[in-house]
Amino acid sequence: MKGKKILVLNLTRMGDLIQTTPLIAGLKEADPSCEVTLAVNLGFVGITEFLPDVDRVVTFDATPLRPADHREYFALDAFRRADSFVKELKAGGFDVLINLTHSAPSAIIGSMLGIPDVRGTCLSDDAARTVHNRWLMYFSALLSFRRYNTFNLVDLYSLGGGAKPGARRPVLDTARPESDAGALLAELGITEGEKIIGIQAGSSMAERRWPPSNFARTADLLAERWNARIVFFGVPS
């Protein structure tokens, strides 16, 4: 018998997507015949090709449905993008929705899909924002008591999505990236045996990023202290 069709809606950032992998692995362990579709923010789709156990990836341009800086934007354009996204997902005929994006737009999108088994954020019949599943309800309120929290995000995702607890860890398929990195380092003149220190140089959110001068100073100090070559990771933006 063919397994359930499961939609995991995670329109957050790269780190959150990686931390979704134990949940997806748990779903596959429970039912190897299930089909898992991962819906992600277009800006972070690149990482998904290295996530195991995902059968299909669907992208959504979530920037911006509602700009954080309150600048002027055309609301109808945002609605049209959301409507097109919902129609694409509805065509998938999903049995289960696991909504890991705890935002008002994702709650609206989740409710518009009409999927019978919902775990996570959606709207009630009277359009009130609600959360199905006690673990994801806990997660949605986490900001108010973060200093007292004893659960890792990986566990909250897994338990909230319905996967059995286990010793699963976030996993990436690194075979190709490692091969590509080796070729790039050779091209840059870095030879085997040299000490290399990698620095992740920022965040997708401007308010979480250091000024470039701080990174430059840190790189100089590390290179001098450890006689190392410095490699920065990131994207052009």
192 — phi, psi (to 5°)?
-60, 135
Residues 80-86: contacts with CB under 8 Å, at least 24 apart = 82/108, 82/109, 85/39, 85/58, 85/60, 85/109, 86/112, 86/113
CA distance 122 to 104: 8
Domain boundaries defined on the chain: 5-161, 175-233
CA distance 150 to 153: 10
Q: What is the DSSP letter of 194?
A: -
Nearest by Cα to 92 from 45, 28, 35, 168 = 35
**Res 69: pLDDT:** 55
**Res 74: pLDDT:** 60
**Res 55: pLDDT:** 97
**Res 59: pLDDT:** 96
CA distance 226 to 228: 5
**Res 73: pLDDT:** 57
Low-confidence ranges of the chain (pLDDT < 70): 1-2, 63-75, 167, 204, 235-237
CA distance 137 to 165: 18
Kind of pairing between the strands at 117-123 and 129-132: antiparallel
Coil/strand/helix, residue 199: strand
- Homologous superfamily of the 5-161 domain (CATH): Glycogen Phosphorylase B; (3.40.50.2000)
